[in-house]
Amino acid sequence: MAAESNGGFLNKALNVIEVAGNKLPDPAVLFLILMSGVWLLSWPLSFVDFNAQHPVTGEAVVVANQVSGQGLATLMTSMVSTFVNFAPLGVVLVALLGIGVAEHTGFIGTVLRKVLSITPKGLLTPMVILVGIASHYAVDAGYVLVIPLGGIIFYAAGRHPLAGIAAAFAGVSGGFSANFWIPSALDPLLQGFTLSAAQLLDPDVNVNVLCNNVFTAASTVLVAIMGWVLTDKLIEPRVSKIAIDGDPDDMPKLETVTPAETRGMFAALASIVVGVILLVVWLWPQDSALRLDGKISDFHAPIMQSIVPLIFLFFLVPAVIHGYVSGSVKSHRDIIKGMTKSMSDMGYYLVLAFFCSLFIWVFNQSNIGVLLSIKGADVLKAMNMPGPVTLFGIIMLVGSVNLLVGSASAKWGLISPVFVPMLMQIGISPDLTQAAYRVGDSTTNIITPLMPYFPLVVVFCQRYVKKTGIGTLVSLMLPYSITMFFGWSLLLILFWVLGIPLGAVSTYTYP
């Protein structure tokens, strides 16, 4: 889809990005190509002395030939276990079992619609953005539910619907890595990749699922404020000059929450409160089975190892209660259907995870990843740049890659095996590297036509303004992207300089 004429330089830049991105293979195939490249390169590189020492063990780092008979045999015998034991795989699937039921029974949709329907007009913008951020708990539901709701709510309030869509898009996609205190499915997914990458250098290192939750909670406030100011002071005055020429009969209407749905929602929310109370009571005693030697925040404490099962339960139980009370669930078969649907939607992710797991495994076995990180760290040390400058450079690089590779998991799977161990060697922890990745990944989502849901957002806009094209939407979202990029980067640097913990269990330095 070509961007329509909407300004010279911007339109040309978008066309270049779109053409270059469309020439890239599917991310799954990209992992296969990279794995094959590492596999083949390992043979000639195995004869080269790179004069590199492992920073942890002190041993010489040499490239291991993966094309040898032994290397091929190890690859074949390890293939199944490598995939099955891939760190992000299990945690994502378990979390989504509960989230899938919450979507299927209508619990998430009811809560989102109810919140937006009762919001005062003056607080409509920040609430739309916050609901967009909250929609991350339902994975991609925000794209198909919250973004069109933003347009509907604004239109019903007498405001321009494109401003509502822009605000919702900024929350859902621009604030993709912002999050409330409670972890979403994205947290264990990223943590799994980060942990696998960090263990390329240090097999004993640990990365907690909650390593960024304080930063992402603060990011939620920042994204909401920036989005609020931009929408009301810049975006809406600009789009107010654009005539709404959509067919009134085709414009979506706000569906009211039925009394049955309301009863189900309050019953479900009550169950969450009860669940939190029970969890606190269980955790309270010093000798609680959820503690480790009286500690809650230790990586190996049972409560920290149970974050993903807790996500599963805190979505499943309220979803089931909402379903039965509201009438959207007739029997246990509807619950299983919701779980089945969520797993069927993960088919592509399973394919992606298979090739990604093999790529990381070969990268590890060949020692090319460790070698790249050592040499990269040597370059960074020689440049002797201040830590914040290095971090800002990483954020810029991630944001640039994001313009061509839209998938968060695919992108982090590609670059984490190099970035994480490389920065560990100049004293930057995996927790901080992951936080920098989250900033770079989120802030350019809303201006890349290659983001899978970008054309869908264009369609949402066209319901109200028929001439809307890709270039129109990008020009609308560019102020959000630029402001969030610099504002969010500054927040991370302030966290670092002031020593504010990134998460419940996190560090800034390695070791």
47 contacts: CB under 8 Å, gap ≥ 6? none
Asked whether residue 62 is domain-assigned, the answer is yes
Which range of residues forms the domain containing residue 229? Answer: 8-498
- Among 177-191, 317-331, 390-404, where is mean pLDDT lowest? 177-191
- Look at residue 142 and tell me if it is in a domain: yes
For the stretch 228-233, contacts whose Cβ atoms lie closer than 8 Å and that sit 24 or more positions apart, written own/partner, are 228/125, 228/126, 228/129, 228/167, 230/170, 230/479, 230/480, 230/483, 231/125, 231/129, 231/163, 231/166, 231/167, 231/170, 232/125
pLDDT (0 to 100) of residue 402: 78
> Do the domain assignments include residue 507?
no
Per-residue pLDDT, averaged over 237-243, amounts to 87
- Rg over CA atoms, the chain: 24
C-alpha 147/C-alpha 458 separation (Å) is 11
Tell me: the pLDDT tens digits for 339-385? Answer: 998 888 778 778 878 987 888 788 878 888 778 777 777 787 778 78
* pLDDT 10s digits, 14-52: 556 556 655 667 767 877 888 898 889 999 998 988 887
* For range 455-477, the mean pLDDT: 83
Cβ atoms of 422 and 433 closer than 8 Å: no
* 170 Cβ neighbours under 8 A, 6+ residues apart: 129, 132, 223, 227, 230, 231, 446, 477, 480, 484
Mean pLDDT of the chain: 84
Q: Higher-confidence residue: 225 or 117?
A: 225
pLDDT band at 436 (very low <50, low <70, confident <90, very high): very high
DSSP states along 114-126: HHHHTS-GGGHHH
Domain assignment of residue 503, yes or no: no
Higher model confidence: residue 365 or residue 495?
A: 495
pLDDT tens per residue, range 98-118: 878 887 898 877 887 888 778
Higher local confidence (pLDDT), 416 or 182 = 416
4 pLDDT higher than 50: no
The whole-number pLDDT of residue 222 equals: 96
Q: What total number of domains does the chain contain?
A: 1
More confident residue, 409 or 165: 165
C-alpha of 23 from chain center: 24
Determine, yes or no, domain membership for 505: no
pLDDT at 307: 76
Q: Report the pLDDT value the prediction gives residue 509, as an integer from 0 to 100.
A: 92
Non-local (6+) Cβ contacts of 135 within 8 A are 108, 112, 141, 142, 145, 146, 171, 172
pTM above 0.95, yes or no: no
pLDDT-above-90 percentage for the chain: 29
* Stretch 242-248: mean pLDDT: 78
pLDDT at 19: 60
209 — pLDDT class (breaks 50, 70, 90): confident
> What percentage of the chain exceeds 70 in pLDDT?
89
Distance of alpha carbon 211 from alpha carbon 431, whole angstroms = 6
Tell whether the model's pLDDT for residue 441 goes beyond 70: yes
More confident residue, 201 or 384: 201
User: At 511, is the secondary structure helix, strand, or coil?
Assistant: coil
Q: Taken in order 273, 119, 177, 211, is the CA torsion positive or negative? A: negative
User: Does the structure show a pLDDT above 60 at 151?
Assistant: yes
Domain membership of residue 157 (yes or no) is: yes
From 353, 444, 342, 427, select the one nearest 391 (Cα to Cα).
Answer: 427
pLDDT of residue 368: 83
In sequence order, what are the beta bridge partners of 295? 292
pLDDT class for 265, splitting at 50, 70, 90? very high
Q: What is the pLDDT of residues 182-194, one digit of tens each?
A: 777 678 888 888 9
Q: Between these two residues, 481 and 255, which has the higher pLDDT value?
A: 481
- Higher-confidence residue: 104 or 325? 325
Report whether 88 contacts 308 (CB < 8 A): no
Q: Is residue 242 part of a domain?
A: yes
In this predicted structure, the answer to whether residue 2 has a pLDDT above a threshold of 80 is no
Is residue 417 domain-resident? yes
Q: The tokens of 385 are what?
A: 């740049």
